[in-house]
């Protein structure tokens, strides 16, 4: 594995080829919307000023940024609508499907439901050009932290695939959207940007599936921004299945307004190295966030996840459950932070991270945390790290299950609490298969 | 005529846990079709014996033999013992979150039935019959194994497993402890459904109460890791009236000195 190229601390201003002034000029020439040009320019100014993270940053202490071969990747030109459609067995489960490939993307409505409900699924560039006022507040909007981080700013300036999903007030969208990424161009850099706006009292759901072949090197720097408005309910399931030679640094942000519910499920099985950050802000009274995650690092995989449960309003609720396993020389990092902003009283926040370490040589680090600037709140965080329970193993074996079958049952069972929350049976089945394959490999 | 040769035999069994000897030469033999009870005061080694029969890795057998239907049980893995037809109803069944009762029972059934597996529909039908018989809520089968179960539910779950696996020899380790009389009756009903000429049962208990519902042919009294007394059902009554002291006296002071 190569890639010691970003993050030389003494030259933090180093701009990477293609992600520099010239690169921006090229991107701007491709950008039709004035709004997007302005947003990109502002983001680029931030990006230029920000230093690349180094292992001296607490957040990157356990995941060296130089593990990511960003400098060796070629940013793909802005993806355009193309006839890149190939059918996929999961498509039938959803009303709208977006297929993303290195040479373009295709948006398909499987039926009339989304159009009848007035739901918008558009390329971000088109949405920004045709309805700038509807996009402007939600692109680099208030869900994002200020100041921005280096990778967020990079995404904002250089994203090459953007998608805008808008649910009008009151719609109930059961079957939702599938976005599937099938990336197979060697040494390419995909920078996806997703913006979701769920208007008041709407309910909806989307699933992302991220795939690349094991034998090509590839990198993704995604960023997602979700706005769940008053009384709305939105669920996002992200299934990360990048190939074993792929890399990802993702930054995702969600904001729930009064009485809203934000539910985010991350399922991490793929990639050589990945670092994800998810920040969910329960920003209005009586809003709630449910954050669930599964990760399984086997072989030489390294997976780092950081979650923020941000309570910026009183009377808010958040619940987080991240379950991970490490095997072979796999390595995982979980860092969680519950943040209660000043005045955020009567807050309930729960954070649980459980890790299975399946053999010596594998490693799971768990760093739960609280940052409380308010009182009158109920907070709990807990983490466990260990191997399978010998009493449980014996119990199953005493009923005739072989040791291998008993281990499989316990490991599947360990993840089941999260798997149960995935709405689609096909995805639950896929998750079971990933776990099975990882245990057999 | 029933076969009077022993089909389950424990010979001079010694076992230790964490280096501490618990069983110190247990002898016991059973003929097919019989029900035996094993009683004894706390700490006498009853649960150790149950766990050793099933092959719990925390116990080390230092001497002796266990023979079941001619097979050397101590050389078998726990799953091989189950597949051979041995069953242990645990005193403290562990909870296994994420593994549903139905799925678990199907895997256990398949693992122990070899070529006589049932197809899923037939299995579910049989499971529902058992559940009804044991007066358990139907929703039980979709719950996670023992997870959040009450003490009584866990014990019924053990019996449900026993009915599902149809073992030829079962050990019940204090299944009656902590059960109210109604639950005890249900548990006994489940057990009595299995008893017959091809089934042997060893009931380990602390209380005579369960022996009113499950009638043993023989009773053994375990004291300090050895079988101190064996006898017929009349022993139950004597124990009930006189406790263990007379056993200790008859068994001899040298045992008590340990």
CA distance B194 to chain A (A): 17
* pLDDT band of B103, cuts 50, 70, 90: very high
Residues A370 and A431 in one domain: no
**Inter-chain contact A390–B111, Cβ cutoff 8 Å?**
no
A342 vs B: CB within 8 A = no
**Inter-chain contact A399–B111, Cβ cutoff 8 Å?**
yes
Residue A63 lies in a domain: no
B143 vs A: CB within 8 A = no
For residue B81, give both structure tokens.
Answer: 């013992």
How high is the pLDDT of residue B244?
A: 83
pLDDT at A11 over 50: no
Reference A186, options A119, A232, A247; nearest CA is A247
High-pLDDT (> 70) share of chain A, %: 97
Give the residue numbers spanning the domain of A301: 285-387
**Inter-chain contact A397–B77, Cβ cutoff 8 Å?**
yes
Reference A404, options A427, A384, A388; nearest CA is A388
pLDDT at B258 over 80: no
How high is the pLDDT of residue B3?
A: 59
Query: What's the mean pLDDT in B222-229?
Result: 94
How high is the pLDDT of residue A12?
A: 41
Strand order in the sheet with A317-326: A104-109, A96-101, A177-182, A203-211, A233-241, A261-268, A288-297, A317-326, A347-357, A377-386
Residue A380 lies in a domain: yes
Residues A345 and A308 in one domain: yes
What's the mean per-residue pLDDT of chain B?
91
> Chain A residue with minimal CA distance to B161?
A399
What does residue A69 show for φ and ψ, rounded to 5 degrees? -85, 45
For residue A62, give both structure tokens.
Answer: 């356990």
Residues A337 and A425 in one domain: no
Per-residue three-class SS string for A122-142: EEHHHHHHHCHHHHHHHCCCC
Determine the 3-state secondary structure of A153 from DSSP: helix
In chain A, how many domains are there?
A: 2
> Chain A residue with minimal CA distance to B162?
A399
Determine the 3-state secondary structure of A29 from DSSP: helix
Residues A308 and A325 in one domain: yes
Please, what's the b/e burial string for B228-250 (b: 16 or more CB within 10 A of its CB; e: otherwise)? bbeeeeebbeebeeeebeebbee
CB A164 within 8 A of CB A135: yes
Of A398, A403, A417, the CB nearest to B54: A398
Query: What's the mean pLDDT in A195-209?
Result: 98
Q: Which residues of B touch A389 (CB under 8 A)?
A: 94
Residues A417 and A356 in one domain: no
Residues A328 and A408 in one domain: no
- In this structure, how many other beta carbons lie within 10 angstroms of the beta carbon of residue A236? 25
Reference B157, options B180, B173, B175; nearest CA is B175
B82 vs A: CB within 8 A = yes
Beta bridge partners of B218: B36
Looking at this predicted complex, what is its ipTM? Answer: 0.94
Determine the 3-state secondary structure of A287 from DSSP: coil
High-pLDDT (> 90) share of chain B, %: 69
Report cis status (omega within 30 of 0) of the bond before A147.
Answer: yes
* pLDDT band of B2, cuts 50, 70, 90: low
Selected for mutation to probe chain B from A321, A395, A409 (highest B CB count within 10 Å) is A395
Q: Which residues of A touch B107 (CB under 8 A)?
A: 399, 401, 405, 409
Angle at B12 between CA B6 and CA B15, to 5 degrees: 120
A335-368 pLDDT, tens digit each: 999 999 998 999 999 999 999 999 999 999 999 9
Q: How far is CA B8 from CA A214, A271, B68, B132, B235, in A?
A: 55, 54, 5, 32, 22
A22 vs B: CB within 8 A = no
A395 vs B: CB within 8 A = yes
pTM, entire model? 0.90
Residue A39 lies in a domain: no
Residues A326 and A375 in one domain: yes
Residue A338 lies in a domain: yes
* pLDDT band of A5, cuts 50, 70, 90: low
CA distance A356 to chain B (A): 14
Selected for mutation to probe chain A from B47, B55, B76, B79 (highest A CB count within 10 Å) is B79
Q: Which residues of A touch B112 (CB under 8 A)?
A: 399-400
Containing A379, the helix (H) or strand (E) segment is strand A377-386
Q: How far is CA A250 from CA A20, A152, A210, A275, in A?
A: 20, 8, 12, 6
Instruction: Give the count of Cβ contacts less than 8 A between chain A and B.
Output: 78
**Inter-chain contact B82–A397, Cβ cutoff 8 Å?**
yes
B78 vs A: CB within 8 A = yes
**Inter-chain contact B107–A398, Cβ cutoff 8 Å?**
no
How high is the pLDDT of residue B252?
A: 65
* pLDDT band of B246, cuts 50, 70, 90: confident
Residue with tokens 């076992």: B15
**Inter-chain contact B97–A403, Cβ cutoff 8 Å?**
no
Domains and their CATH numbers in chain B: 6-256 (3.40.50.300)
Q: Which residues of B touch A416 (CB under 8 A)?
A: 97-99, 144
Q: Which residues of B touch A398 (CB under 8 A)?
A: 54-55, 78-79, 81-82, 88, 90
Residues A372 and A396 in one domain: no
Residue A50 lies in a domain: no
* pLDDT band of A1, cuts 50, 70, 90: very low
How high is the pLDDT of residue A8?
A: 45
B104 vs A: CB within 8 A = yes
Residue A263 lies in a domain: no
DSSP single-letter state for residue B55: T
Reference B145, options B183, B94, B179; nearest CA is B94
A395-407 pLDDT, tens digit each: 999 999 999 999 9
Angle at A367 between CA A253 and CA A410, to 5 degrees: 95
> Chain B residue with minimal CA distance to A402?
B79
Query: Rounded to the nearest 10 degrees, how much is the dihedral formed by the CA atoms of A340, A228, A134, A80?
Result: 110
Beta bridge partners of B144: B100
> Chain B residue with minimal CA distance to A397?
B79
Residue A20 lies in a domain: no
């Amino acid at each position: 594995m190569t890639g010691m190229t970003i993050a030389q601390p003494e030259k933090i201003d180093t701009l990477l080829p293609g992600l520099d002034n010239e690169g921006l000029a090229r991107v701007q020439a491709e950008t039709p919307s004035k709004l997007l040009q302005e947003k990109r320019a502002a983001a680029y100014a931030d990006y230029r000023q920000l230093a690349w993270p180094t292992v001296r940053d607490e957040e990157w202490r356990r995941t060296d940024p130089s593990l990511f071969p960003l400098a060796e990747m070629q940013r793909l030109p802005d993806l355009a609508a193309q006839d890149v459609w190939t059918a996929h067995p999961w498509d039938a489960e959803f009303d709208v499907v977006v297929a993303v490939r290195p040479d373009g993307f295709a948006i398909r409505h499987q039926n009339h439901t989304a159009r009848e409900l007035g739901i918008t699924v558009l390329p971000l560039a088109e949405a920004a050009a045709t309805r700038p006022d509807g996009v402007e507040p939600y692109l680099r909007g208030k869900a994002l932290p200020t100041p921005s981080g280096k990778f967020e700013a990079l995404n904002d300036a250089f994203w090459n695939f953007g998608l805008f999903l808008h649910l009008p007030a009151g719609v109930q969208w059961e079957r939702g959207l599938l976005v599937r990424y099938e990336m197979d161009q060697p040494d390419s850099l995909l920078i996806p940007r997703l913006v979701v706006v769920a208007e008041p009292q709407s309910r909806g759901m989307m699933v992302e599936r991220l795939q690349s072949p094991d034998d090509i090197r590839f990198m993704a720097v995604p960023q997602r921004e979700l706005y769940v408005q008053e009384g709305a309910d939105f669920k996002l399931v992200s299934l990360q299945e990048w190939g074993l030679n792929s890399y990802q640094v993702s930054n995702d942000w969600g904001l729930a307004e009064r009485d809203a519910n934000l539910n985010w499920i991350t399922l991490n099985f793929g990639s050589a190295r990945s670092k994800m950050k998810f920040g969910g802000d329960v920003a209005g009274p009586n809003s709630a966030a449910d954050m669930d995650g599964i990760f399984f690092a086997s072989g030489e995989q390294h997976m780092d996840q950081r979650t923020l449960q941000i309570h910026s309003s009183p009377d808010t609720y958040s619940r987080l459950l991240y379950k991970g396993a490490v095997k072979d020389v796999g390595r995982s990092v979980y860092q969680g932070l519950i943040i209660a902003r000043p005045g955020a009283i009567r807050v309930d926040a729960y954070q649980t991270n459980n890790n299975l370490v399946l053999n010596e040589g594998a490693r799971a680090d768990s760093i739960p945390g609280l940052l409380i600037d308010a009182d009158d709140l109920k907070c709990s965080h807990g983490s466990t790290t260990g191997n399978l329970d010998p009493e449980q193993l014996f119990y199953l074996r005493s009923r005739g299950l072989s040791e291998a079958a008993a281990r499989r049952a316990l490991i599947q069972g360990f993840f089941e609490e999260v798997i149960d929350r995935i709405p689609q049976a096909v995805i639950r089945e896929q998750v079971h298969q990933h776990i099975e394959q990882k245990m057999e490999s | 005529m029933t076969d009077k040769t022993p089909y389950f035999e424990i010979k001079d069994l010694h076992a230790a846990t964490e280096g501490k000897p618990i069983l110190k030469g247990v002898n016991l033999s059973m003929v097919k079709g019989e029900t035996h009870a094993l009683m004894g005061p706390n700490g006498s080694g009853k649960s150790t014996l149950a766990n050793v029969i099933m092959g719990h890795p925390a116990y080390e057998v230092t001497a002796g033999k266990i023979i079941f239907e001619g097979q050397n049980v101590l050389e078998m893995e726990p799953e091989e013992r189950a597949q051979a037809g041995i069953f242990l109803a645990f005193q403290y069944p562990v909870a296994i979150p994420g593994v549903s009762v139905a799925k678990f029972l199907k895997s256990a059934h398949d693992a122990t039935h070899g070529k006589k597996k049932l197809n899923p529909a037939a299995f579910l039908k049989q499971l529902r019959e058992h559940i009804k018989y044991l007066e358990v809520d139907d929703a039980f089968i979709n719950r996670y194994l023992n997870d959040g179960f009450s003490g009584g539910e866990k014990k019924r779950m053990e019996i449900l497993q026993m009915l599902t696996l149809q073992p030829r020899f079962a050990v019940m380790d204090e299944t009656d402890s902590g059960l109210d009389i109604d639950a005890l009756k249900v548990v006994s009903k489940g057990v009595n459904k299995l008893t017959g000429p091809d089934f042997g049962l060893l009931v380990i208990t602390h209380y005579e109460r369960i022996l009113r519902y499950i009638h043993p042919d023989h009773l053994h009294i375990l004291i300090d890791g050895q079988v101190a007394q064996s006898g017929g059902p009349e022993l139950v009554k004597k124990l009930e009236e006189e406790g263990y002291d007379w056993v200790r006296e008859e068994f001899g002071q040298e045992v008590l000195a340990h």
